Structure 1
């Protein structure tokens, strides 16, 4: 990769509960792809619903940072490695997260919705016995609930994450069908000077679109949104920089001439 998007800003390793890949393996794959830099964004989802099949989304921040610092030193002349986190937002966690982001020197903070009123849409019981439309609406409403109480993040992650796991995925989903609430979310984020991400995970989850879908990304730009990061949401090396050529084309088609990376919580705008 010699041009286009040269940073992957949403990446997980074995410090996240849903990955078993050593961090160095992710770094080596990124190097082999010619990336200029990556931002690790390990999961932290306190108060995650406890079920027999659920994972423990706590995070050993000390060990995570220690390993990242070690790799930063080893690879300092080859690739930039930045310290990020993906916070699983829920309204009751507001004070906990504020203290965390004040105390830790993150480069980048993604705020994401994984748990909606005690359920993660990853599991079928979120949809059980309910219409898909209602489930998707509840997910978007929960984003507004989070935004009403918490603002110490840089971008909101995979805004339509819920469609990855719906009974019909995105076959009956579109920006137009949820326009009113999606516009409310986008306008709120812009008013807070927060960004969104183009999460290429939608491609490797078989949606044929990123998360959020292309029309939502276009609408964010139309409304005046400027901050947009790009990440593959990789949990294994083979997914790093997934469909980044396609992602660059999407951003261009939506009116962007740049993408965004973060250092010390400050945005940097890089040409596509």
Structure 2
């Protein structure tokens, strides 16, 4: 009897120990996953595709109406414009903050339609786009991850003339192809669409197009600043900027993008989009 009792007690203790280990492993796993950008946890809010799907269905109905009635000119075609704000939530350069709802209302009131013209003649075409805007602010972890990718891709490129004050400042080139994967991660995170394998996987599927408006903190990205640990800032509370700090936000250097060896630019079009 004592042997059976000891055996049961030992088995029960072993089960408790295993359960405790599993609990610790799960806790560590959740902690690790929570400290990574571009990671979607169960129940995490994400981009709602209703507007994208509504526009697609509207195109079908408009085409059917056009085929049965040719009196309506110009032909109304909905166009979805998705705008992703990066670093405009009080966490980027100068700690600027943009209200997504107010921006959407402003764009809808100011640029609600667009009628393209014929390139050869300049005459308006018989179609008119009804523009549907969606504004989405990215989070701080994703902002810092993009800043880190851009900083690591900076290559010294001599000096460049500052536009505002005419000073010659150290210049850095950023090969956009090297940071494109980071933006693809943000795109996949927002739209829940895997673009990591390239555009071939989604070539035959309608996918949302997006314009990324970025406002990076140049002080954090300064390639001369080797002491700052960007990884530690992803989930940390960012300090407020004093007036003196804001005067130093340009960090006395210039960086510009070059896509696949092309000319210097502040704007570039991603591959496959």
With the length of structure 2 as denominator, give the TM-score of the two structures: 0.26
Instruction: State the TM-score, normalizing by the size of structure 1.
Output: 0.26
Larger Rg: 2
